[in-house]
Amino acid sequence: MTQTQNTQTTNIRRNVPVDEQLEILRRGVVDLVSEDDLRRKLERGAPLRVKLGADPTRPDLHLGHAVILRKMRQFQDLGHKVIMLIGDFTAMIGDPSGKSKTRPPLTLEQTRENAKSYLEQCRLILRQEPEVLEIRYNGEWLEPMGYADVIRLASRYTVARIMERDDFRKRFEGGVPIAMHELLYPLTQGYDSVALEADVELGGTDQLFNNLVGRALQRDYGQEPQVVITLPLLVGLDGTEKMSKSLDNYIGLTDEPHAMFAGLMKVPDPLLDNYFTLLTDLPRERIEALLAGHPVAAHRELAREVVASLHPGADLDAAQERFRSVARGGIPENIPTVSVPAAELDNSVDTQRISMAKLVVLAGLEPSNGAARKLIQNRGLRVGGETYSDPQGSVPRSDLTREGGVVLQKGKDKFVRVVLGD
């Protein structure tokens, strides 16, 4: 994982006219509750406090997260203060009923570790100047809360309003159990906004309800209600599901330039507009022009823009060239080389051959012979640019000793050169 730090070459622009700020901040947004409130807050001229709740249970970020982080960055660039709220306390509690897989309870150590990794990845997008970045942990106010405080908090909200949340209502009506504590989490999340005196809260569209609870609670606690802004959930490379690691349709935030470039070249055409809008700063007219042109050119521009913003200083031409060469079935330059110990062949029955499955394992492309054979069966392995289809096949010793050895390719962009060592 390479973590190139964002160079923050641009300056913070202060006192940008409100209309211009709104223009920037509205881009790509789904919900904005409400624009009038946001305008009023901006008109005051003081930096806004912009909250983003970070879930320290899932440490690996991808471009889906970048959509919201980029919006946070836009606030920073306009001089507003971004508050990264780490839900350390709630993560440690998790789902005590053990029924929810999305909320496994974590130890304090895991939480801290994950939070650290999360914030590290955010550096790729967020400015780090203290006047525009504040990092907080909700244990700060949740840990000292007692039973009476929870009762008082709960008294501020009605069951009917909580049950308006789509998934709660559907589960309730469908007879799917909702544990009582699940109802308390939106309140807790809302209370975080009270504790932080947030002016704005950002989130995915799936967070609209929870963040509106914060808005309501703030009003109830005598604060000015926060503006709630939601951004779309980025659809992944499969073109249908939201980007997520578990669906393997993602591009990691810390992927290396060439991998990120290759990933972006595979974005389904219908999603191009979305990706341009949410992941680049290209003006609308430019996006329209690109969409009207050849898709490959559009993809290339998307890839260059996104890679450049996450990897400032990366060699875009090299990444592009590598992609082109791989796409044509070529082998990119500078691929890793693995030496297979000569003993592997010397001690085997046929000292002149090695099974392809074993070679794949020794090359580090699969963890076991079984997995390697499966890869071959599924036509996921190429050798010298050709699909290799015999799971029981083997490679002669001479291939490994020749100049350049054997180049194995797993999937579209994973290459390893295998040679015979001592």
Q: Which residue ranges make up the annotated binding site for ATP?
A: 245
Residue among 44, 152, 170, 284 that touches a second copy (CB under 8 A):
152
Q: Is 73 helix (H, G, I), strand (E, B) or coil?
A: helix
154 binds a second copy (CB under 8 A): yes
**Cα–Cα distance for residue pair 412/57, rounded to 1 Å:** 30
142 binds a second copy (CB under 8 A): yes
Find residue 327's DSSP bridge partners. Answer: none
By CB under 8 A, the residues from 300 to 319 that bind a second copy are none
Q: Tell me the closest approach of the beta carbon of residue 88 to a second copy, in angstroms.
A: 12
CA–chain centroid gap for 362, Å, is 31
Binding mask 316-335 toward a second copy (x if CB under 8 A, else -) reads: --------------------
Please, which residues have CB within 8 angstroms of residue 218's CB and are 6 or more apart in sequence?
Answer: 190, 193, 194, 197, 198, 224, 225, 226
219 binds a second copy (CB under 8 A): no
Omega of the bond leading into 389 within 30 degrees of 0 (cis):
no
170 binds a second copy (CB under 8 A): no
147 binds a second copy (CB under 8 A): yes
Instruction: Find the distance separating the first CA and the last CA of the chain, reported in whole Å.
Output: 30
The closest alpha carbon to 117, from 67, 55, 179, 177, belongs to 55
Residue among 25, 63, 86, 162 that touches a second copy (CB under 8 A):
162
Nearer to a second copy, 155 or 392 (CB): 155
The closest alpha carbon to 24, from 272, 227, 283, 276, belongs to 283
The closest alpha carbon to 270, from 240, 248, 232, belongs to 240
How many residues bind a second copy (CB under 8 A)? The answer is 39
Residue among 39, 112, 136, 156 that touches a second copy (CB under 8 A):
156
Q: Which tokens hold the place of 414?
A: 């994973």
Q: Which tokens hold the place of 32?
A: 């904005």
Which residues participate in the annotated binding site? 245
24 binds a second copy (CB under 8 A): no
By CB under 8 A, the residues from 51 to 110 that bind a second copy are 89, 92-93, 95-97
Residue among 18, 22, 24, 145 that touches a second copy (CB under 8 A):
145
Q: Is the dihedral of CA 287, 306, 279, 197 positive or negative?
A: negative
222 binds a second copy (CB under 8 A): no
Please, which residues have CB within 8 angstroms of residue 99's CB and are 6 or more apart in sequence?
Answer: 177, 179
Nearer to a second copy, 151 or 292 (CB): 151
By CB under 8 A, the residues from 182 to 211 that bind a second copy are 182-184, 187-188
* Interface with a second copy (CB under 8 A): 89, 92-93, 95-97, 142-143, 145-160, 162-163, 168, 172, 175, 177-184, 187-188
